[in-house]
Amino acid sequence: MNLLERKRRVLMPCLYHFFGDDPLHLVDGKGTVVRDDRGREYLDFYSGVAVNGLGHCHPEVVEAAAQQMRKLQHTTTIFLTEPMIELAEKLVDVAPRGLSRVFFCADGSGANEGALIAARIATGRPAFLAFRGGLHGRTSLTMATTGLPMWQADPFRPEVVIHVDHPMNVGMDVHFSQLQQAIASKGADYFAAFIAEPICGNGGILVPPDGYFQKLRAFLQEHGILLIADEVQTGFCRTGEWFGLQNWETSPDLMSVAKALGNGLPIAAWMATEEVAARLTSPQASTFGGNLVPVAAALKVLEIMQRENLATESRRKGERFKEMLRAIDDDGIVDVRGKGLMIGVELSHEGQPATDRCDAVLRSLRDNGILAGKTGPGRNVLTFEPPLIVSDDELERVATATADAMAATREVLA
């Protein structure tokens, strides 16, 4: 029985993969390149959905984790360990102003769920505001705050969320009038927090207009509503700043991080201001939160990101890559957007999402030895999130291959 048949027998049917009946079976990776079971190499321009910021199997990160693994792996938070405290200190150093307390956990869903519950405790209010187009996770509250139907499997999601349209899609005026309406209908004291991805990743790389987050922050403050930044995908230099909200000089009350922090080892955290943290005295724990092995990897990740100026590099490379993508002459491309190395290329035909063409382009890229992603409610936004260590030559190669893929799929319109 081949691996796909074995997968279909034993894994949950809700777990999908790219390329349908012809999936990729990856066996190893180094830097920006992964290899499949037939020895074919691919430039990885999706990084396991923005995880491998430093590329695959970065030797220094591997060594840091391996050393820690031989020394002491796991204790839980009921005992003191120094690496966990050191990582919290480092996170506070690079985080947006005011975020001074850290709670470690194991994945993005757990980090967001923790932040949402913390906002309820801190405000004494039950409900949340969120973007249509946002994605926050698989747990109960994070699935309820998610604003993408395809990622809302639970038919009985708690009814404590009001979704508003993203300002990139409807403009600031409509967006803020929807917020006003929500507050007018439920009362401001119904809402604990607005949870927002600075740039909605799975929603199709939705970038808000300049000035939006500053305005949102002021609006929420006026109503005593906290701002939670979901930086699970945008964090750790992905958008050309340490964290996405720093593109708009905004500091949230709470922030969740995961993905790139461990460069592939599972580690996540939520952070809060002193004011919020002061209310969080009722006991909570996470068995794997602060586990020493991913903590050791994360300490090395932060050191390398700082040493190699990866925030600045991400911005520089992203600008260059966007320019090359914008030069592709094809009516099917209606927008190229993003910040740093978080870039979306929206494909449409006669005003409708070009879902099949996006798939065809992804296949063509794959045949050319390149992996990219697809996002957006219409699954029509070609998405590039390469490792931050990607070279200028590799960016050029992928831009050229994308132009070729667009040319080769002209007949696949919709």
Give min distance, CB of 298 to ligand PMP, in A.
Answer: 14
Q: Which is nearer to ligand PMP, 96 or 201 (CB)?
A: 201
Tell me how far apart the alpha carbons of residues 176 and 282 are, in angstroms, rounded to a whole number: 35
Q: Which is nearer to ligand PMP, 147 or 353 (CB)?
A: 147
Q: Which is nearer to ligand PMP, 206 or 365 (CB)?
A: 206
Give min distance, CB of 405 to ligand PMP, in A.
Answer: 24
The residues that bridge with 342 in the sheet, in sequence order, are 339
Tell me how far apart the alpha carbons of residues 8 and 337 are, in angstroms, rounded to a whole number: 36
How is 262-286 classified by DSSP, letter by letter?
GBTB--EEEEEEHHHHTT--S----
Residues that bind ligand PMP (CB under 6 A): 49, 107-109, 112, 135-138, 197, 201-202, 230, 232-233, 258
Under 8 Å between Cβ of 321 and 395? yes
Give min distance, CB of 80 to ligand PMP, in A.
Answer: 27
Give min distance, CB of 169 to ligand PMP, in A.
Answer: 17
Q: Which is nearer to ligand PMP, 140 or 306 (CB)?
A: 140
Give min distance, CB of 237 to ligand PMP, in A.
Answer: 16
CA 99 distance to own-chain centroid: 19
Residue nearest to ligand PMP (CB): 108
Give min distance, CB of 271 to ligand PMP, in A.
Answer: 15
Tell me how far apart the alpha carbons of residues 96 and 100 are, in angstroms, rounded to a whole number: 9
Q: Which is nearer to ligand PMP, 272 or 360 (CB)?
A: 272
How is 128-180 classified by DSSP, letter by letter?
EEEETT----SSHHHHHH---GGG---TT--S-EEEE--HHHHHHHHHHHHHH
Q: Which is nearer to ligand PMP, 138 or 326 (CB)?
A: 138
Tell me how far apart the alpha carbons of residues 397 and 254 are, in angstroms, rounded to a whole number: 39
SS3 68: helix
Give min distance, CB of 206 to ligand PMP, in A.
Answer: 11
Dihedral sign, CA of 176, 182, 185, 186? negative
SS3 94: helix
Q: Which is nearer to ligand PMP, 240 or 244 (CB)?
A: 244
Q: Which is nearer to ligand PMP, 233 or 409 (CB)?
A: 233
State how far the alpha carbon of 179 is from the alpha carbons of 134, 157, 199, in Å.
16, 21, 19
Residue 335: enclosing H or E segment and its boundaries? strand 333-339
Give min distance, CB of 231 to ligand PMP, in A.
Answer: 8
